[in-house]
Amino acid sequence: MDEELFNKQMRGFLKKVGITSQRELEKAVYERVGDGRLQGNEALPASVVIRVPELDLEVRIDDEIRLE
């Protein structure tokens, strides 16, 4: 296994996950605050699941996103 390549690929994947997730979450929050579905002071339960079927791996992370 090429550890340098593996680490580079992992960093790229996690960067893509982080950037995409942040962009989509921000977009959804601003839309819902804008149209009144959210007040802007909520704490939103959130979760993410990363699956790698070939490794029989599923990791779930649960947290909360506070708007105020």
Q: Where are the domains of the chain?
A: 3-66
Average pLDDT, the chain: 98
Q: Band of the pLDDT at 57, cuts 50, 70, 90?
A: very high
CA distances from 38 to 25, 31, 45, 61, 68 (A): 13, 9, 14, 23, 12
Strand partners of residue 61: 48
Whole-angstrom distance, CA of residue 48 vs CA of residue 22: 12
Name the nearest CA neighbour of 61 among 51, 49, 53, 45. 49
Prediction pTM value:
0.85
Tracing tokens 């802007």 back to the chain, one arrives at: 40
| Over residues 6-34, mean pLDDT | 98
